[in-house]
Chains A and B, each alone.
Chain A
Amino acid sequence: MKTESRLEKVLASGALAVTSECGPPRGVVPDKVKEKAELLRGYVDAVNVTDNQTAMVRMSSWAASILLKQIGIDPVFQMVTRDRNRLAMQADIIGAYSHGVNTMLCLSGDHPHFGDHPMAANVYDLDSVQLIQAVVKMRDEGKFQGGKDIDHPPKMFVGAAANPFADPFELRVMRLAKKVRAGVDFIQTQCIYNLDKFARWMDGVCERGLHEKVHILAGITPMKSAGMARYMKNRVPGMDVPDDIVKRMEGVPKEKQPEEGIKIAVESIERLKEMEGVHGFHIMAIEWEEKVPEIVEKAGLLPRPEI
């Protein structure tokens, strides 16, 4: 084991891992984080804590991660390179680790253009690949970016994101290979609706043996309504929602749509389980966290392994 991360242990055991997500509040009330996470207790192995998601200011991800740690839920501390330079990022990694946060996710982050602070400076001192390298260097070499030794380095289990659906498609396996080369331990993918395209990507991943070097958790987001399906299809960059999914959502009465969305999610998990290289699931139920247990249960992912 490289780290004390629960997620690492679950993945090492060969079990399918399950992670979910919790967006910190836009204010100071700690109970809001805890309440969201409580809904997930016992159903997932770790909970991602987003970092100024969609470029909107929220409680910092390391602070919210510590709140989760305090109630015995394992956080995946997300870090975007958009908001701080390498000094601040390394400092936050050390700080979070000192509070027991041992799993993190390295992202570049949404451009400020999308949030409510479009006037903010766009830092990007590092990009996501370079952040992976930085965290791995801290862990494996015990060194800072500047080259000096760290006095008791943080041992983070390092994750990153992959979007198999962004353009150019032909580059998507290569980009994963690059993150693997940077030393990433696990990957959480963009939400998967186009399973055929995902399967093609996974074929490419397996062909190069990347699935043996990195744990891939397939991204799942249940649709609440046909409107959400249309929105994701048309408005969210890098999202691939096939027409038949939209039609299927539209084909049931409005009050039945949430149920249909969950059904689709469960069916997707069932199919993804069969794909070589899929080592788990990252279930992102946006402002719908209470449905995660139902999905996990229906998809036959219970009980979660005791580590």
Chain B
Amino acid sequence: MITAVRKPMEEIIACVAPYDRILLVGCNECVSVCSVGGRKEVALLASALQMHFLKQGKTMDIKEITLERQCDPEYVEELVNLTDGADAILSMACGCGVQTIAGRYREKPVFPAVNTTFMGASERQGVWSERCQGCGDCVLGITGGICPIARCSKRLMNGPCGGSSNGKCEIDPNIDCAWQLIWDRLKALGLERRIEDIMEAKDWRTSRDGGPRKIVREDLAS
């Protein structure tokens, strides 16, 4: 899923301070699952903002709504009757949701309340880790199901580097060395020799380096 963290209140407060009526929009997808932008967090942020402004002597009108999926125009359409009553929109969705709103309601300023962080998986309750960088050419099939691009600090395709120590990355003892994980996994699969196959220089065109990407499924789009 796409993970995010709430922006510092100071930054959010500065964004909405010039306005009186805010439409605060959550999303029921990824950001709900990682407890940063779902219904509960929307309610919490609404209270926090109102409490802040009440202390300043200002009553901030905040309408709360959490859409099923903020990155989908179909759901974003649900805001159509609410935007008139708002001076600005504050979104708690990932950057995709914020942009879908900005694209649809062009006359309203839209601010992000969260920093979209990475595509990750849940390790355990409350802990998420980066797992994929969407490079567009998946190598997991040859790296034992562990991604060197997302999980090696240097995204080495032929690791490990000389800084792997006791299974940990040299930049942080809390980060597993991806290549140690790959090696352990290849061993478990009886594929040790594969570690000596050189992974050729990657074609980054399928990644962000080829420009913004788009998927068009003719069978669905027509």
In the complex they form, whether A and B have CB atoms below 8 Å apart is answered with yes
Chain A residues with a Cβ under 8 A of chain B: 82, 86, 108-111, 113-114, 122, 124-130, 133-134, 145, 161-163, 166-168, 171, 174-175, 177-178, 181-182, 190, 237-238
The reply to whether A171 and B183 contact each other, CB–CB distance below 8 Å, is yes
Give the docked Cα–Cα distance between A174 and B166 (Å). Answer: 18
- Which parts of B184-222 form the interface with A (CB within 8 Å)? 195-196, 198-202, 204
Known contacts A124-B154, A178-B198; 17 further A-B pairs (Cβ under 8 A): A86-B201, A108-B156, A108-B161, A111-B163, A124-B155, A125-B201, A127-B157, A128-B158, A129-B157, A130-B199, A133-B198, A161-B162, A162-B162, A166-B160, A166-B163, A166-B165, A237-B165
The closest CB in chain B to the CB of A109 belongs to B154
Q: How far is the CB of A85 from chain B (nearest CB, A)?
A: 9
Q: How far is the CB of B118 from chain A (nearest CB, A)?
A: 15
Question: Which 9 A-B pairs have CB atoms at the shortest separation, nearest pair first?
Answer: A163-B162, A237-B170, A129-B158, A127-B156, A113-B171, A238-B162, A130-B201, A237-B163, A166-B162
Counting CB contacts under 8 A, is B116 at the interface? no
Assess A133 versus B154: contact at CB under 8 Å? Given A113-B171, A171-B160. Answer: no
The reply to whether A167 and B165 contact each other, CB–CB distance below 8 Å, is yes
- Residues of A near B172 (CB, < 8 A) are 113
- Residues of B near A86 (CB, < 8 A) are 201
Chain B residues with a Cβ under 8 A of chain A: 153-167, 170-172, 177, 180, 183, 195-196, 198-202, 204
Name 16 A/B residue pairs within 8 A (Cβ), A-sorted: A111-B154, A111-B170, A113-B171, A128-B158, A129-B198, A130-B158, A130-B199, A145-B201, A166-B165, A167-B180, A168-B164, A171-B195, A177-B196, A181-B196, A181-B198, A182-B198
The closest CB in chain B to the CB of A165 belongs to B162
Q: How far is the CB of B211 from chain A (nearest CB, A)?
A: 15
Give the docked Cα–Cα distance between A252 and B162 (Å). Answer: 32
Chain B CB within 10 Å, residue with most, of A126, A168, A178: A168
Chain B CB within 10 Å, residue with most, of A122, A128, A134: A128
In-complex Cβ contact of B196 among A108, A113, A127, A174 (8 A) = A174
- Residues of A near B199 (CB, < 8 A) are 130
Assess A130 versus B154: contact at CB under 8 Å? Given A111-B171, A174-B195. Answer: no
Chain A CB within 10 Å, residue with most, of B162, B196, B204: B162
Q: How far is the CB of B173 from chain A (nearest CB, A)?
A: 10
- Residues of B near A124 (CB, < 8 A) are 154-156
- Residues of B near A133 (CB, < 8 A) are 198, 200-201
Give the docked Cα–Cα distance between A163 and B198 (Å). Answer: 18
The reply to whether A134 and B162 contact each other, CB–CB distance below 8 Å, is no
Give the docked Cα–Cα distance between A161 and B162 (Å). Answer: 9
Give the docked Cα–Cα distance between A293 and B133 (Å). Answer: 49
In-complex Cβ contact of A134 among B154, B180, B201, B204 (8 A) = B201
Assess A167 versus B201: contact at CB under 8 Å? Given A127-B159, A181-B196. Answer: no
The closest CB in chain A to the CB of B161 belongs to A108
Q: How far is the CB of B73 from chain A (nearest CB, A)?
A: 33
- Residues of A near B200 (CB, < 8 A) are 130, 133
Assess A82 versus B154: contact at CB under 8 Å? Given A111-B170, A238-B162. Answer: yes
Q: How far is the CB of B180 from chain A (nearest CB, A)?
A: 6
The closest CB in chain B to the CB of A180 belongs to B196
Q: How far is the CB of B179 from chain A (nearest CB, A)?
A: 8
The reply to whether A190 and B204 contact each other, CB–CB distance below 8 Å, is no
Give the docked Cα–Cα distance between A134 and B158 (Å). Answer: 14
- Residues of A near B159 (CB, < 8 A) are 127
The closest CB in chain A to the CB of B167 belongs to A167
